[in-house]
Amino acid sequence: MSKTLKNNPWYWIPPLYLTEGIPYVLIITVSVIMYKKLGVDNSDIGLYTSFLYLPWVIKPLWSPLVDLYGTKRKWFLAMQLVLSFAFLCIGLSVPTSQFFVLTLAFFWLASFASATNDIASDGFYLLALKEEQQSFFIGLRSTFYRVAMVTGQGLFVIVAGYLEVKYGDNAKAWSLTMVMVAALMFVLTLINLLTTPNIEKSSTYVKEVQLTFWKVFSSFFKKKEIWAALAFILFYRLGESQLVKMASPFLLDSRPEGGLGLSTTDVGLIYGTFGIIALSLGGIIGGVVISKDGLGKWMLPMILALNVPNFFYYLLAYFQPESAFWAGSVVVVEQLGYGFGFAAFMMYLIYVSEGPSKTSHYAIATGFMAMGMMLPGMASGFVQEWLGYEGFFLWVVAAALPGILMIRYVKFPKEYGKKKVEEIQNEK
């Protein structure tokens, strides 16, 4: 490949962000479906798959290592090879008698590798592109991250569902599916090796002299009214963090167990296609209205949009409609509201991170965001088994109240985000 083509962002951004998005959605979302189809209890699914969020929670603790040792390109290529190995081992472990322990161990390895890959890939994006290019290519970056979501949560789940029917053996079906994931990750790693420019030399950039990481870290907690802000970050998605873990088991569980009895293929189609489209559309609309009117006007409507549609899951559990149309409709409405409401959340995280150390502070803020998903998700399976699906979904709706009530206590400029779309995109 010529030097001109190799330095062309149109060539390296798509595979780089496919390789960033696919592992995340496999680890956090598809693992839930896989374990459900392999007969794991909801309580164990909620506890152990939520715990897989931990590397994203604590990644600020080792993110300076990516800056201080080696190049970001070497980091993400190495992590992508580790991810290929981890998914291969998951696939080989599924048919064994100790599949739950073994696959979880390799999912843990994949989680740390994926979180580190995120740090290195995002850092490379900022380093390889000039400021105006970062803004121009943010759309391409986001698009291929969404394609990764569709590939992981849609295509691979559909493939697993097809193989379940073909072989009549869920373990064999998911084993083959994870081996396919490993093969795709290896191919994408080779593509990234060939397409990403080798621009990181000691003469082209100077590694930042650290004031000491702990000074940067502690300065975040000295911000004005930071504890109210952190409480809001933790409570904003308290209901959604539990719903996301039990929604797929609810759709897959048999009707006598309180579920809807859908097939794996149906769930893959609903979430991986229609759900992702609705999520993307909601996010786009959210960004547009904030840039037009500012965060102050939209914070309350957006947190309501994120939480109110969860009530429809209670209606599904109560009526248990036979047609998959109703389940699909509820998922589309919920994902649309989630995308819309999440735009306000991300804008608030950017506001909280403002200051001289905004990059490190944003990593800390997103770590608390991940913690707000991890801890409630760990308890979600136990709560669902205790309350049943109907009671659980009512609890999910009630869990939204603390975040909604906290809006009056968090401070931010009402005009924040207005007419600052490019600045906001560059922060992400």
Among 10-14, 20-24, 167-171, 183-187, whose mean pLDDT is lowest? Answer: 10-14
Number of domains in the chain: 2
66 and 191 inside one domain: yes
Tell whether 367 and 231 lie within a shared domain.
yes
Contact 253, 260 (CB under 8 A): yes
Clarify whether residues 150 and 277 are in a common domain.
no
Are 188 and 288 members of one domain?
no
**370 domain-assigned:** yes
Phi, psi of 352 (to 5 degrees): -60, -30
The answer to whether the beta carbons of residues 313 and 247 sit under 8 Å apart is yes
- What ranges in 129-212 are assigned the alpha helix state H? 131-150, 156-167, 170-195
pLDDT band at 370 (very low <50, low <70, confident <90, very high): confident
For residue 342, the enclosing domain spans 224-428
Average pLDDT, the chain: 84
- Two structure tokens written together for 263: 């097939």
The pLDDT, as a whole number, for residue 133 is 59
40 assigned to some structural domain: yes
Q: In this structure, are 270 and 175 located in the same domain?
A: no
DSSP 8-state class, residue 255: G
Q: What is the pLDDT of residues 119-131, one digit of tens each?
A: 888 778 767 776 5
Q: Is 419 left (phi over 0), alpha (psi -120 to 50) or beta?
A: left
Q: Given pLDDT bands bounded at 50, 70 and 90, which one contains residue 394?
A: very high
**Residue 235 sits in the same domain as residue 185:** no
Give the whole-angstrom CA distance, residue 301 versus residue 356: 31
Q: Please, which pLDDT band fits residue 419 given cuts at 50, 70 and 90?
A: low
DSSP code for 346: H
* Rounded distance between C-alpha atoms, residue 183 and residue 251, angstroms: 29
Average pLDDT over residues 290-309: 90
**Per-residue pLDDT, 369:** 87
Q: pLDDT tens digits, residue range 330-361?
A: 999 998 998 888 888 878 887 887 776 666 67
pLDDT classification of 201: cutoffs 50, 70, 90: low
Indicate whether 295 and 365 sit together in one domain: yes
Give a yes or no: residue 2 inside a domain: no
174 and 244 inside one domain: no
Domain annotation covers residue 422:
yes
Can you tell me the mean pLDDT for 55-71? Answer: 78
Pair 175, 295 in one domain: no
Pair 317, 360 in one domain: yes
In a domain, 78, yes or no: yes
pLDDT-based confidence at residue 248 (cuts at 50, 70, 90): confident
Residues 124 and 73: beta-carbon distance below 8 Å: yes
The verdict on residue 244 lying in a domain is yes
CA distance 169 to 38: 10
Higher pLDDT: 205 or 342? It is: 342
Of 106-110, 257-261, 364-368, the one with minimum mean pLDDT is 364-368
Residue at 229 is within a domain: yes
Helical segments of 59-98, H only? 63-68, 72-93
- What's the pTM? 0.73
Cα–Cα nearest to 404, from 282, 223, 240: 240
Report which DSSP code applies to 256.
Answer: G
Q: At 282, which CATH number? A: 1.20.1250.20
Give the residue among 247, 245, 239 at the shortest CA–CA distance from 372: 239
248 and 134: one domain?
no
